[in-house]
Every structure is written in C-alpha cells, then in structure tokens.
Amino acid sequence: MDLPAGTRNYTYAQDMAIFRTKTHWFLLLVLLVFLFTAPVWFGNYWLSVANLIGITIIAVTGLNLLTGYCGQLSIGQAGFMAVGAYTSAVLVGRFNLPFPVAILCAGVGAGLVGMLFGIPSLRVRGFYLAISTIAAQFIIVWVVSHWTNLTGGFSGMEVKPASIGGFVFRSQASEYFLILGITIAAVFVAKNIARTRTGRAFVAIRDNDLAAETLGINLFRYKLTAFFVGCFYAGIAGSLLAHTSRSVSADYFPFMDSVLFIGMIIIGGLGTTLGPILGAVFLRLLDVLVTKLSPWLQSAFPGLPPGFTSGIAPMLFGLVIVLFLVFEPRGMSHRWQLLKAAYRYWPFSY
Amino acid sequence: MQKRLMLVMSVVLGLAVLALPALTSCGPKAKEGQVLKIGMMTPSTGPVPEKGVPGQHGIQDAVEYINKELNGAGGYPMQASWRDSAYDMAKVGTIVQDFMNEGDLLFTTHSSSEMKAAQGKANEAGFPGIATFISTMNLHPAAHIYGPTPDYGDDWVALAKYYKDHIWQGTGRPKMALHLLGGTVGQGTLDGAQAKAAELGIDLVATENHALTTTSEIESLTRIKAKNPDVLIISGVPASSAVVLRDAKKLGIYPGTTVMLTSASFVQAFVDLAGKDDSGAFVAEGTYGVAHVVTWDENVPGVAKAREYAQKNHPADIGNMDYLGTWATVLVIREILATAVKNVGYDALAKGGPDAWKLIEEQGIKKVKGYKIEGLQGGSLSFTPGDNRLDKYLRIYQVKGGNIVPISDWQEAPLVAYSQYDK
C-alpha cells in the first residue's frame, strides 16, 4: 500500500492494516457517517438509486475477483445473478426459509453453477472463455424462463421483501441499510481475498498461468475457486435485486447487463478493490443523469430529430468506455491513486 | 299566450347560447404553478424502440393538446414527467420511485414488462398505475394497476372466438398453435388460451416461444408445421412477429394456415417490417389481428386531433398505432384527473403522496363513467369492482392491401378469472 511520506511499517500488523494512518481512519469515519446518515437527506428516489448502485457494486466486485484478479473473462455475470435471484425467491416464497438462509443459498447456488461453467477455463482462455460464459448467460436465462413449475416461467415470480428476525425490509431506507451492510461486507471480504494466498494465486494465474503452474499453483482448483467466488457475489446481488424489486423474471437479467458490468470494471480499474465501486457508481449515475437530462433536452431543443435525446444514453456509455480504454486503461482507481500521490507530494510532485 | 311563451323561450335560449362560452370557461382557473403531475415511461431505447419512441411522442403530443385545447384536466394543466426506461427492469424500479417522489398522481408504462417490474413497489405503496399495453399478470389480482383497454388474455379469447365463428369450416375441434414472445406479452396470451381453449372447443397443439431479438424461427416453425395446425396465433412485438410470419411464409405454413396476431404486434410497423415477397405482395396480407383502438383512417374526433398534432410535431408517426394508443391513454388519464378534481378539488391532490393516490383511485378511477375517449376506443370508460380494465372492448382487424382495416364490430371482452394469479 502507498503510504504518506515519513510513515513506516514496523510490525506485521501495521503492514497488513487496510487503514493505516489516522487520516485513513478519519476519512473512513466521514465516509461511514455519510453513508449511514444518507436516508436523512436522500429522498426515496436517490435511495432507490443508491440501492441499485449497491447491488451493482456487489455483482461487479465478484466479477472483478474473477476477471480483474484471476484474468478469467466472464460475460455471464447477469446470468449468475439470475441464479441467485431465483434461488432466493424460491426458497423464501415456496419453502418459507428465512431470508438470511436464502441469500446464502443464493450465493452458494450461483457459485456452484459458476463453477460448472468455469470448468472449460482449464482448457480455454481469453476470447474463447468469454464465449463459453456468454453461453452460460443464455442457458441460465433459458432455463429460468422454461422451468415454469419452479420459476413461474415467462411470468416470473412475485418475491416477498427481505426480512430478518421479524423485521421486514419494506421501505427504501430499510432496504438501503440492508444493501449497504452487505455491500460493505462484500467489499471488505473481496479486499481481503485479494491479499490472501488465494488472491495472490489469482494474480499469478492472470499474469502468466504457465509460470503460475510451474510455481506449484493448481490452476484448475484456483480457476474454479475464482468462478465460485465471483459467482457467489453475483448470487448475493441477484437475491437482493429480487427481494427489493418484489418480482423477478428473465427480463431483469439481460445480456447487455453482463456487458455493462465488464464496462464498469474497465472504467473503474481492473484488479483493484476500488475499481468496481467507482465503475458502478460512475455508470449508474451517468445513466441517471441521461435519464433526467433527456426530457429536458427534448423540451429545450424541440428541433432535435425524434428519438435523438433517448439515444444519448447508449451512445454515451459506448463513448465513455472507449475514452477510458484509450486515455486511462487502468481506470478511475488509477486516476485516484495519481490524485492521492499528487496531494502527498505537493508541492514537489516531480 | 302561445306567442308570448315562444318569445320568452327564445330569449332564454338565446341568452343560454350567448352565455355558453362564458360558462365553459368558468371552471376552476389554475393559478401559476398549479399543475396535475403524472409520470410516464416508455422503452424509447433498448430492444423495442419501434414501440417506445412513437409511444413517447403520443404522450407528449396528447399532453400538449389537452393543455392547449381542453383547458387541462378539470381546469388544471397536466404536467407529464417522461422517462426512458430503456426496457431495463432494474431501472424501472428507480423510475417509479422517482415518480412517487416528485409528487406524481399516477404513472403509466408502455409495456406490460415495464409494468410487471413496476407494480410490486407501486401496489405496495398504493401508487396507481395505468398500463398502456397490459398482460394478464398486471391486472390479476386486481390491485392498484389499471388498464385503459382489455389485456392479452382477452386478445386470445377474441381471436379464438372470431376464428371459430367466422373462419373455421372444418369438423371437430380446430387445432391451434401459439408462437409467443417470452415474457409478459406471450404469457398473457398463453394465460387466455389455457383458461378458455377447452371451453371454446379448441385444441392447443403446439406452443413455441421466441425472443425479442429473434432473427430466425425456422426451427420452431418446423415443429409447428409438423403438428399441422389450422390456425397460428403470434403474440409478440412488431419486429419479432414479422420474423415469425416471414419464416412461416418460407416454410409454406402461410398462406394455408390462418395467422392471427395479438394487439402488441398488430400495428402498421408489423406490416412494414414483414415487407413484401418476390411478387411484390405484402407478406402480412390477409393476416388477422386484434386491436383496442381505432385505425388512423377512421372518422372520429380523436384521430383528427392526433393527426393534427402528429403532423405538426412528429409526422413520421402518422399511421402508428403505438402513438394512437398512448394518445388514448393520456385522454383516459385526463378524464380520471378531471373526475378526481371535480370530486375532491385540486388542493387535496396538489402534493401527491399516498393520500392523493388514494383519492385518485377512489374519486377518480373508480368514478369515471361513460367517457368515450373521443371515439378512439370501442367502449366507454367505466370501472367495475374486481375488474381493473377500464374499457372492455376490442375489435378484429385484417391486413388488406397492406393496410390494417377493421372487419368486425367492437365486442366486449368478458372478465376471465386466472386461478394462478387471482388467489
């Protein structure tokens, strides 16, 4: 970890600390106070946006472990979310299991399905692996659409709100706290996974899998572990999406979402803990901005061609991803690191 | 004496005629900033912009017409907050929350899938929704979501009845195949078929599904062809239905087998997208369909106004049924709002929120009666307890010479109970 000038680590505990200096702790505290008091000044609309961002962060953090750290390109994350969403909806709705059990089962279920589709990763990589994960997306969506007895088929399912110990998460504010808590836990766990032996093995596989194998890393085991963990996160996110939307159907998990998630980790920064957070926040807020801006543009410039303002969103998403790939391929988290370094070294930034 | 009476009556009548314009403008006059807010979303980007964009234009032009020429709703201008849902169901949830937050009195969607994604939170909050295109699962069980027209289940029943009564000439039970868009559109049609096929004496011999973005249905239609159906019902959106029809023609299923389409796809865009064959004939020629609104060629006041505004603002939408559909929905909403304003006054509705939503439902939606929607739909607007379809009339159409023309009278769609939803 980069440390401010003059700060040295003298113990292993200091070396391992995520928040090392008082400034770190202070900024963390400010952030937590901001996040936990958000319902006081956020209206229900912004809370619903925050909830969607939180769910997206969980899904994208899982994808980042799989793709950003382990180098296994997956374009089926929305499909794995569907596994989690339906698992949780069925367990709560049909079998009356408590939500905490259901959400864990959703994660495990999605993880196991992810492992199944991850098996080809031992033989194929890169573009070919991406194609096999696209297959996962379509197969999963086909199954949930046609397994009518269990999933409700194309009608989808009504889903009960999440509840823990008799407390029902019905309002936007209560859902916000639920999602916030799980998001913080998910990011914290992901950060720590990246620092463990497993995380280092992921990085070794990503950088050069042949070299990693000669070093004694069991490629099959670690690749499948990466698929399990990445899809576990997707399952958790899917479960939260289902319980906060009150319904679930295949329409919630389009292929384009899987592509968008890849865009988020590219924009945020592959292989960093901060990247998925920044990417998800940036693209979701961009979407909100365009959704709000479009009607205004239409009334301000009535001469624009029909459908032009609506078409801004997809054009902008594409443009932003291309611009990041060209000008900042290491993503927003790298830009953030540069900003921090400039602050620390100022006025001697050279 | 009689002469004197006539004179008095003439004077009274004359005064009444003179006072009429003044009386009509004597309704409540809105002060600056007093508006009736509504939320409207359309899938203007994403996989179905061919429906969303004209739908969006219909909304915007109808609101302009209402505010300019009809003195708003109950004397107060309507303010529509429009959002592009991009057919993104996760986003639909935040848009509905946005509508609730900004004080909207009700909201509309332009696709049954959008409404399905929105209705969980809306029903929970008691926020009334009007679905321009409606599936069975949007209205069953009846809660806070309403339809200005019949639903896709009703479409199936109407098509099946028409087929049995006017087209079927064989003996025994006709064999029917269904080609359904995966999702709420296809499911609504399937619900109708499963609920009523046995009663109508129809055998469902094949059910196939297609995707929104399908480009070939040769394989599924080959399976259907093997069952040798008498009639094929396609339930999708214009683009997907056009693909199914073109492939049915390639396989020689059509002509031969009667092809019928439900309301979500039976629009001019479907005829255009299906295109022409090598001989220059329209591929869709002779297909049957059901619709809940009139065509652009009909002589009713609503069409004249829609044409006038479309000509001015969006000329490319003339002839588009999605445009006309949302135009009619906005008129329905105006009537609901005007009724609510008349019954409880503007102040009770001004700020939106749960109390206002309840008033909109109880004193608006449930009190409308007899409004003819400027002739754009078959019936008149009225609420029946337990049945959230506000107009229950539909009509059978056929493609003739590349145009969609009505071939039946308006017929009432009786309420179908769907056991899987109405528990």
- Rounded to a whole number, what is the distance in angstroms from the first to the last CA of chain A? 20
Inside any domain, residue A15 = no
Task: Tally Cβ neighbours within 10 Å of residue A214.
Answer: 9
pLDDT tens string A229-264 = 999 999 999 999 999 999 999 889 999 899 999 999
Kindly list the residues of chain A whose beta carbon comes within 8 Å of any beta carbon in chain B: 43-45, 47-49, 52, 55, 145-146, 153-156, 158-159, 170, 172, 241, 244-247, 249-252, 254, 257, 287-288, 291, 294-295, 298, 302, 306-307, 310-311, 313-314
Q: For the ranges A125-134, B19-28, B49-58, which has the lowest average pLDDT? A: B19-28
What pLDDT does A221 receive?
A: 93
Inside any domain, residue A99 = yes
The Cα of A307 is separated from the nearest Cα of chain B by a number of Å equal to: 6
pLDDT tens string A40-65 = 988 889 999 999 999 999 999 999 99
Question: Which positions in chain A touch B93 (Cβ < 8 Å)?
Answer: 48, 52, 244-245
Only one residue has tokens 């849902």, namely: B85
The minimal CB distance from B116 to the residues A247, A287, A294 is found for A247
Distance, CA of A38 to CA of B91 (rounded, Å): 21
Q: Side chain identity at B403, as an amino acid letter?
A: N
Nearest CA in chain A to B125: A171
What pLDDT does B25 receive?
A: 43
What pLDDT does B6 receive?
A: 56
Inside any domain, residue A10 = no
B8 pLDDT band, cuts 50/70/90, is low
From residue B386, how far is each of B140, B146, B200, B370 by CA, in Å? 9, 11, 24, 18
Distance, CA of A185 to CA of A187 (rounded, Å): 6
What pLDDT does B20 receive?
A: 44
Distance, CA of A291 to CA of A314 (rounded, Å): 11
Per the CB < 8 Å rule, is A313 touching B86? yes
A340 pLDDT band, cuts 50/70/90, is confident
CA dihedral sign, ordered A151, A152, A155, A157: negative
Average pLDDT for residues A187-193, to the nearest whole number?
Answer: 95
Classify residue A35 by burial, with Cβ atoms within 10 Å: 0-12, 13-18, 19+. middle
**Over 90: is that where the pLDDT of B408 sits?**
yes
Inside any domain, residue A33 = no
Q: Which domain does A90 fall in, by range?
A: 42-296+307-345
**Over 80: is that where the pLDDT of A349 sits?**
no
B423 pLDDT band, cuts 50/70/90, is low
Q: Are A158 and A93 in contact (CB under 8 A)?
A: yes
Q: For the ranges A29-33, B187-191, B304-308, B417-421, which has the lowest average pLDDT? A: B417-421
Among residues 202-221 of chain B, which lie with CB inside 8 Å of chain A? 209
**Over 70: is that where the pLDDT of B7 sits?**
no
**Count of domains in chain A?**
1
**Half-sphere exposure (CA, 13 Å, Cβ side) for B406?**
17
What pLDDT does A290 receive?
A: 85
Average pLDDT for residues A271-285, to the nearest whole number?
Answer: 93
Average pLDDT for residues A255-284, to the nearest whole number?
Answer: 93
% pLDDT > 70, chain B: 93
pLDDT tens string B211-248 = 888 999 999 999 999 999 999 999 998 999 999 999 99
Q: Does B195 touch chain A (CB under 8 A)?
A: no
CA dihedral sign, ordered A199, A72, A332, A348: positive
| Summary mean pLDDT of chain B | 89
Average pLDDT for residues B100-116, to the nearest whole number?
Answer: 93
Q: Does B231 touch chain A (CB under 8 A)?
A: no
Distance, CA of B71 to CA of B386 (rounded, Å): 33
**Over 80: is that where the pLDDT of B188 sits?**
yes
What CATH number has the domain bearing residue A96? 1.10.3470
Inside any domain, residue A1 = no
Which of A249, A294, A304, A309 is the mutation pick for testing B, counting most B CBs within 10 A? A249
SS3 letters across chain A: CCCCCCCCCCCHHHHHCCCCCHHHHHHHHHHHHHHHCHHHHCCHHHHHHHHHHHHHHHHHHHHHHHHHHCCCCCCCHHHHHHHHHHHHHHHHHCCCCCHHHHHHHHHHHHHHHHHHHHHHHHCCCCHHHHHHHHHHHHHHHHHHHHCHHHHCHHHCEECCCCEECCEECCCHHHHHHHHHHHHHHHHHHHHHHHHCHHHHHHHHHHHCHHHHHHCCCCHHHHHHHHHHHHHHHHHHHHHHHHHHHCEECHHHCCHHHHHHHHHHHHHHCCCCCHHHHHHHHHHHHHHHHHHHHHHHHHHHCCCCCCCCCCCHHHHHHHHHHHHHHHHCCCHHHHHHHHHHHHHHHCCCCC
Inside any domain, residue A180 = yes
* β partners of residue B36: B78
Inside any domain, residue A142 = yes
What pLDDT does B5 receive?
A: 54
What interface predicted TM-score (ipTM) does this complex get? 0.83
Which residues have CB under 8 Å from A275's CB, separation 6+?
A64, A68, A265, A268, A269, A331, A332, A333
% pLDDT > 90, chain B: 70
Inside any domain, residue A30 = no
Q: For the ranges A70-84, B33-47, B192-206, which has the lowest average pLDDT? A: B33-47
CA dihedral sign, ordered B260, B263, B268, B269: negative
Q: For the ranges A142-156, A215-229, B59-73, B76-90, which has the lowest average pLDDT? A: A142-156
**Over 80: is that where the pLDDT of B17 sits?**
no
Strands B393-400 and B411-412: antiparallel
What pLDDT does B306 receive?
A: 95
